Amino acid sequence: MNADLYKRLFRAIFSEDLDSLRKIAYLIIENERKNRHNVLADSLEKISKLASVNKHDNKVEKAFASGLSTLPVTKRDNAPLVSYITREQLKHHMILPEDIEERLHRIESEFVARERLSKYNLSPRRKILLYGPPGCGKTLSAERLAWNLGLPLLKVRFDSLISSYFGESASNLRTVFEYCKKEPVVLLLDECDFIAKSRITNQDVGEVPRIVNMLLMLLDEYDAPGLVIATTNLKVTLDEALFRRFDDIIEITLPTEHEIRELLKLTLSAMKTHLDINWDEIATNLNGHSYASVVAIAKNSAKNCVLEGLSTVESKHLEKAINEVTMKY
């Protein structure tokens, strides 16, 4: 290592400049390869990958703080197979139709009473499938369940899980499920549309059919202390075999006018709203919008109000926001 690199290294260490330290580390690895010290270079590169996994989005360290053991990674390159969503990040305030609300509450109640149920050889609902249009609260429902049950939420990273190597994707999925046997967590398979599609209509070859079959088997064998929740946007061609593996299947529908009205008020609850706002008329005009669209309208109307230097949201702010979102979608 030359004198200039030594100086850069010492400056980075004593100024605690992590970005510079990483760049210097990669330069050192590159220099060792140029000098044909391949064994040393490989060892240094392995250390750098392990370090980046342990600091991925600063979430793994927080996972340790919550009592979780080392999160599952791929065997090939130690890439994280799940993302840990901290409790502070979980969204749990929801406005849902009464029947859907009751079904989510039933899942929570059964989980809390799991020991009492086991005395009668009964099991709580632990494998849940949520399906419906985009932006209607499927992921939010999973976060709400994790929040209310006090369980960590782990979101499967399909970008790391799917591999081009024969059989590796299915092996990665098994690794995730094996981890969940040791830790009580909510495992979220978010937007797993390629898994939920009917295998009859699916023309994919290679790893996708293998991972679908592995998921079916893992769901059959699922006996973990937490929950597994899958979400999909698909309304049709859902695999019947996949349906049968879940304890509960809930369709998350578009909001009714009642939910739209209440969601607008909830989102704007931190601000004052003018008495002349006709909430019923606005809710009627927004019929057919998703929950995400309604929340975006409420937030944009609040921004319109603040940008005008006002502290009370008026009808004109909502109307402008509705026009903006309508044009966007």
Top pLDDT among 32 and 99 is at 99
Query: According to DSSP H, which parts of the chain are helical?
Result: 3-14, 18-34, 38-54, 59-65, 98-112, 114-118, 138-149, 158-161, 168-182, 193-196, 207-221, 240-245, 257-267, 279-285, 291-307, 315-328
pLDDT tens digits for 70-113?
Answer: 899 998 888 999 999 988 889 888 899 999 999 999 999 999 99
Residue 16 binned pLDDT confidence (cut-offs 50, 70, 90): low
The whole-number average pLDDT for the span 167-186 is 92
- Decide if pLDDT at 315 tops 60: yes
The CA distance from 260 to 289, in Å, is 9
Residue 54 binned pLDDT confidence (cut-offs 50, 70, 90): very low
Number of Cβ within a 10 Å radius of residue 5: 13
* CB contact at 8 A, 120 and 238: no
pTM: 0.76
Q: Write the CB contacts of 73 (distance below 8 Å, at least 6 apart in sequence).
A: 53, 79, 80, 81
The CA distance from 327 to 3, in Å, is 59
State the pLDDT at residue 203: 54
- Decide if pLDDT at 235 tops 70: no
Burial class (CB within 10 angstroms; exposed 0-12, middle 13-18, buried 19+) of 274: middle
Compute CA 82 distance to the chain's CA centroid, rounded to the nearest angstrom: 9
* CB contact at 8 A, 274 and 312: yes
The whole-number average pLDDT for the span 289-303 is 95
* CB contact at 8 A, 273 and 312: yes
The CA distance from 14 to 230, in Å, is 47
227-232/186-189 β-pairing: parallel
